[in-house]
Structure 1
Amino acid sequence: VSKELLDIKNTVSFIKAVLLDAEQKQHQNNELREWLKQIKRIFSDAEDVIDDFECEGLRKQVASGSKRKKVRLFLSPSSNPLIYGGRMAHQIKDIKEKFDKVAETRDKFGLQIIDSDNRVVQRRETHSHVNDSDVIGREHDKQKIVKLLLGDGDGDDKSLSVIAIVGIGGMGKTTLAKTVFNDKSVVESFPLKMWVCVSNDFELKNLLVKIINSTPKQNHHENIKNFDMEQLQNHLRNALAGQKFLLVLDDVWNEDRVMW
């Protein structure tokens, strides 16, 4: 299984490099757009299998220090070595066949391999507007996120919830976020909604300015760019005070937990 899984990882890395080119060309080619949808579905399955395999490894590490845990894990169908190995082998074979079939048509679109680590990209500023033609097939995902946002409908809930939509470029994360942002029930539930494009240039002070400027105009200040961090935080705190709000941070690349 390990060798086959490595093959899947290598294939995923290769397809990722091609996807960068496909993402840029899809708007001029409807057939390419459909090809991307197929690839994304297979990607999702592949990532699930890879995650499952890695989680199984972690479970074994945790179980190694406890005989009781060892027994419980072995009795679990998903952790029985024979059952688990057979299931994984079947899933990997199925995914590889799907990848190979779809990858055969890559040359048809003239896609090039782009190294995402070495390229410099001028990223577009995103916005919250969404076209109906872009959201086909995302209703199920949208409803799951809307349900998480709205919770049990208790208007007295003052907790802060964070929902992350993650994935490789071209998977439709921004489009999905837009459909949630503009959903009728979400609009009715959040009196204040803010959409901020973060992008590669992550700087906390600039981000705070963007968030403040995405609130109603009465909260804006002509000299806001001259504010220090404490002034910005106080200004934003006053702008949000007593309000139920939804803040979408789109195109986030920075993964430094200290910064967040």
Structure 2
Amino acid sequence: MAADALLTDLFKQLTSTIFQLAKEEIKLLGGVDDEVQKLQDKLGFIKAIMDDAEERHAVKQRAEKLWLGKLQDKYYEMDDVLDTWSTARIKIKTLNEKLDGIFNDREKYGIDFNRQPEVVERPITTSFVDESNIIGRDNYREELLSNLLGVGSPKERKPRVISLVGMGGLGKTTLAQIAYNHSEVKAHFDERMWVCVSDPFDQCKVAKAIIQELVPTHESLNNTTSTLQALLRIVCDLIRDKKYFLVFDDVWAKDSIKESEKWEPFKNALTCGAGSKILVTTRNEEVAHMMGSAKTDIINLGNLSVEHCWLIINKMAFSDDYGEQSRDLEELGKQLANKCKGLPLAAKILGSYLRGKMSRKEWEKIINSINLS
């Protein structure tokens, strides 16, 4: 959750709680004040009795003396209670004044709880990739290419939707980039388009991204008032009767019903092509179904082996000049690789961090500092 959203939610809960407690406190204090008044009245009456007894200097009857002793004990107890109550009331008043000061400081620090929380956009991906850094994904690459290059009917208007599904850091975008830049894929399709959808999903922004991939200088790209209807009509005209390959990278759907409705106009417009393929990368299999992937067209990415994670760490951490040191640190490296939990992104980050750290002591320290459940 964004910091502003968290503060807003916290403030709402806090103020609601304070108001409720205040209401209850008022009711409670009303009753308590009545009891305190009764106690004070009784205290005055007891004091008068004790003063009268003192004036008489002596209490002759044993029962009367015993009763007055008990009364005196309660007198002192009541007096202590009233002192404590007065002190508590003073403390409550002081605390309230301090709380008022804290809340009044909101304006001083520019805090506005009515302000809408800022939307944190995810990083934008591109189609560019360095294939030399890809390790342990050969089987998925072959499956993906087979699906993309499979012979289909050139008259088929509805594009086939293939989805790469898996948690963050598994390499979905990397596999999509490999497929997008593959020589056979380039030759197989008339047009290729790469669109990073990410979150939040902006319909007009996505439509313009498709147009820009097809015609980078298209006049509609500078028109800030273009409607989704107008933009999708342009998309349809540009892909008409063409076999295209379109990548929708990083697709999210926090509300699947609402998001499905947003995607419907795109699905209809994209039927203007012929024998085309769409590749979707997403973390959620429900999104894959929402985008139109059949069960057989969903590729679920698994985690890398420890060996493959170690190869990534090794490649990132060492240059060709450190071959011997790499072998010396291999045992520790595989322990680190095991902590990557099969995530290639984790292995890359860890390998980059280890670059330049060539002592066993440094590697052991890092192993002991990483605590992944």
TM-score, length of structure 1 as denominator length:
0.49
Asked which structure has the greater RCO (Cα within 8 Å, sep 6+), the reply is: 1
Larger Rg: 2
